[in-house]
Amino acid sequence: MTNQAESKSRVYFDHAATTAIHPEVMAVFSDALQNNFGNPSSFYKEGNLASRAMNQARASIAEILEVKPEEIFFTSGGTEADNWAIKGAALAQSKKGKHLITSAIEHHAVLHSMQALEKQGFEVTYLKVDADGLVDTEDLRAAIRPDTTLVSIMYANNEIGTIQPIKELGDICRENKVLFHCDAVQALGAIPLRPKDLGVDFMSFSGHKLYGPKGIGILYKRRAARLAQLIDGGAQERNQRGGTENVPSIIAMAKAVELAYSDMEHESKRQIRLRDRLISEIPKIISYAKLNGHPNKRLPNNVNFSFEFIEGESILLLLDAFGYACSSGSACTSASLDPSHVLLGIGLPHEVAHGSLRISLGRENTDDDIDRFLQDLPKVIQRLRDMSPLYDDFKNNKIEALIPREGGNRLVREGGYGI
Ligand code: PLP
């Protein structure tokens, strides 16, 4: 099979992990790589060209997000933006207080930044979420103390797609004069967002989640918000982040943001329709399947199901052989067999969290992909259940199902709490 034939037969359903570069983004990216190689700090024509293009990119992103160009800082990606906002804001205010608040289901870029600060004497409160993955605004209000200096809550979860009430959370931070960071890596380009309307002081974005290049991100910083420097070096980024700027990626990211915003209304409607086909059909054709995440406060492209009696990794491997690229909920990144902290955070028992599958849609997915997937997925699940000792035990009445046969969005575990 040629590569082309092979790629045609493949369906890419992992856009929350990363996206292929949009052809129009690729055109400006490769043009900049070839023709705009100058160092923006250099005082001659090539340097001026690079610096002008970078400033245009900054201005264009600022205009779309309705913020000031000087509030946009380019970083090496979402991870650096999260690290900078959290560590930089915590350190800048450490004389005022050393208490920070986040949620239990944040991306590791946030959680591990918080943990690093704990080792330096900061105290962190991890807010629990409900069965749909939502943070309770009253929990935030109750957790804020006189020594709280920063709250960090993500806009939309990368695994289960749940969208948080960011404006309400931001209002509570404002009322209490606490700085607010929001990881909006999964939200940018998927849902309309304006930092100024949301009461955030810092917001993180990444290029490769919206058909831009990898290794480029943005930290939005409200002008008056204080932030310590994380990367020491030259005077780049208005003396606040050292390192020669990644000009081609910056130009490409601006194009990616422009394209995502110009197409957002149409594309999000289209993806919601495809998403909702999967959400409504899968429980009809597969028993003991449970939707994870909020039924409607969720990203247009996110579908996440748990299937009982099988392991997420085995679903991924067999789906890969059938031609689909998907992701599981398990934390394979840490090479551990622990299930995802997000799925445990919404209350799933380990057994159920282990058998989870994330399908994240993108601009190239079609109804045909969904039709094909809905035919293949039951075969994959059946084949794996036929090999599963757990399923044997279940059929022989040795164990009971944790997910009801007809699925649904809620489980109630012994002890009585909704999971
Ligand atoms: N935050 C969230 C919610 C993400 O989904 C990701 C990427 O997976 C990141 C942060 C990290 O972004 P990057 O890959 O650009 O470092």
Q: Residue 76 carries which DSSP code? A: S
- Residue whose Cα lies nearest atom 10 of ligand 1: it is 78
pLDDT of residue 9: 86
Catalytic residue among 173, 182, 326, 332: 332
CA proximity to 190, closest of 153, 151, 158, 214: 158
CA proximity to 167, closest of 178, 157, 149, 182: 182
Distance (Å, whole) CA 386 – CA 394:
12
pLDDT (tens, 9 = 90+) of the chain, 419 residues, equals: 444 445 558 999 999 999 999 999 999 999 999 999 999 999 999 999 999 999 999 999 999 999 999 999 999 999 999 999 999 999 999 999 999 999 999 999 999 999 999 999 999 999 999 999 999 999 999 999 999 999 999 999 999 999 999 999 999 999 999 999 999 999 999 999 999 999 999 999 999 999 999 999 999 999 999 999 999 999 999 999 999 999 999 999 999 999 999 999 999 999 999 999 999 999 999 999 999 999 999 999 999 999 999 988 899 999 999 999 999 865 444 445 678 999 999 999 988 998 899 999 999 999 999 999 999 999 999 999 999 999 999 999 999 999 988 775 555 443 333 33
Q: pTM for the complete prediction?
A: 0.94
Whether 158 lines ligand 1, by a CB cut-off of 6 Å, is yes
CA 126 to chain centre: 18
- Residue whose Cα lies nearest atom 12 of ligand 1: it is 78
Whether 103 lines ligand 1, by a CB cut-off of 6 Å, is no
pLDDT of residue 405: 86
Main-chain phi, psi angles of 403, to 5 degrees? -95, 135
Is residue 326 part of the annotated active site? The answer reads no
The label of the residue with tokens 């004497």 reads: 121
Residue 15 is which amino acid? H
pLDDT of residue 408: 59
* Sheet (strand 356-360) strand order: 289-291, 302-307, 356-360, 327-328
- Residue whose Cα lies nearest atom 8 of ligand 1: it is 17
Main-chain phi, psi angles of 272, to 5 degrees? -65, -40
Ligand 1 closest atom vs CA 16? 5
In whole angstroms, how large is the CA radius of gyration of the chain?
22
Name the pairing type of β-strands 99-103 and 148-152: parallel
Q: In terms of C-beta density within 10 A (0-12 exposed, 13-18 middle, 19 or more buried), how is residue 264 classed?
A: middle
Mutual angle of helices 108-119 and 78-92, in 10-degree steps: 30
Ligand 1 pocket test, candidate residues 107, 210, 340, most atoms within 8 A of CB: 107
Helix, strand or coil, per DSSP, at residue 355: coil
CA angle, residues 100, 106, 112, in degrees to nearest 5: 65
Ligand 1 pocket test, candidate residues 14, 15, 79, 159, most atoms within 8 A of CB: 79
Ligand 1 pocket test, candidate residues 181, 185, 210, most atoms within 8 A of CB: 185
Residue 344 is which amino acid? L
Whether 217 lines ligand 1, by a CB cut-off of 6 Å, is yes
Distance of CA 258 from the midpoint of ligand 1 (Å): 20
Distance of CA 15 from the midpoint of ligand 1 (Å): 12
pLDDT of residue 312: 82
Distance of CA 305 from the midpoint of ligand 1 (Å): 21
pLDDT of residue 414: 38
What does each C-alpha distance from 199 to 110, 165, 190, 203, 310 come to in angstroms?
Answer: 19, 12, 20, 10, 43
Q: Which residues, other chains included, contact 4 with Cβ-Cβ below 8 Å and sequence gap of 6+?
A: none
Whether 161 lines ligand 1, by a CB cut-off of 6 Å, is no
Ligand 1 closest atom vs CA 216? 15
